[in-house]
Amino acid sequence: MYTTIMQSDSTGVILAAGKGKRMGGLPKGLISIGGQSVLERLAEVVQGATGNRAIAVVGHQQEEIKKTLGNTLIYAEQKQQLGTANALLAAKIACANAERIAVFYGDHPFVSLQTAKKLLEKSKQTGAKITLASAIIPNFEKEYKIFLHFARILRSETKIIGIREYKDANENEKNITEVNPGYYVFDAKWLWPHLEKVSNNNAQGEFYLTDLLQMAQKEGAKIESIEINPKEAMGVNSKEELEILEKFAV
């Protein structure tokens, strides 16, 4: 059951259907960091930025997520975990009335309300089809090794021309220190038809949300970005990474 009552022209989607294989079976969105679960943090950010409840795309252990978060979120189901583009497509009906779609990953707890608002404002001001956040990492050592397997931002001079997933990157691309945390705002009319064109012709055999950047670039569609600090870009995929994030939790 979806609600289509919206308080603004923007809505936010949290991609939270992953299994959390290295987290002892607990859905990553329910991991507690600094005394609050990742999904609770993200739900507050989305509500504050858009004025609407966030839509959580769920799959693995969705009943546990629903039981914990209740009506704090609106839920959409990704029936098979086929990648991030497929996950966002699962939220299409729930996003029916939105002109702008903000997207966040359900294992990234530190994105701030200020950043979410800034992304939406940049999207509105510029009319960009895609607006994204990026972070420049000083190196991939010590606490920054958490970013090693992040997708890299590809630029020609200052212009974004694409995003390369780490497993598909060549050695030169892996040396790029500008990474993609997975925070976007999309123009909804542009987004939905393009999502359906994303293919899974890549090393993982998945439908990547990041392929939309290359589509936009080829069309000459406007892409904008904002830079955020590395802390806000952090994600948690393992117990080792959780220990790192706990040190940064406030």
Spatial contact of 57 and 76, defined as CB atoms under 8 Å apart: yes
- pLDDT confidence band for 5 (50 / 70 / 90): very low
CATH class of 10-248: alpha beta
105 - beta bridge partners? 15
Q: Which helix (H) or strand (E) holds 100?
A: strand 100-105
DSSP H helical ranges for 93-199: 113-126, 171-174, 188-195
Q: What span, in angstroms and rounded, lies between the C-alpha atoms of 183 and 32?
A: 21
Residue 123's pLDDT is 98
| 53 neighbors 72 (Cβ within 8 angstroms) | yes
Terminal-residue alpha carbon distance, the chain: 35
pLDDT in tens, 23-78: 567 788 998 998 899 999 999 999 999 999 999 999 988 999 999 999 999 999 99
**If you average pLDDT over every residue of the chain, what do you get?**
92
| Digit-coded pLDDT (tens) for 183-213 | 999 999 999 999 999 999 888 889 999 999 9
Average pLDDT value for residue range 162-176: 94
| The predicted structure's pLDDT at residue 1 | 44
Q: What is the structure's pLDDT at 198?
A: 95
Please tell me the distance from the alpha carbon of residue 195 to that of residue 89, in angstroms, as a whole number: 7
The half-sphere exposure of 93 on its side-chain side, counting CA atoms within 13 A, is 10
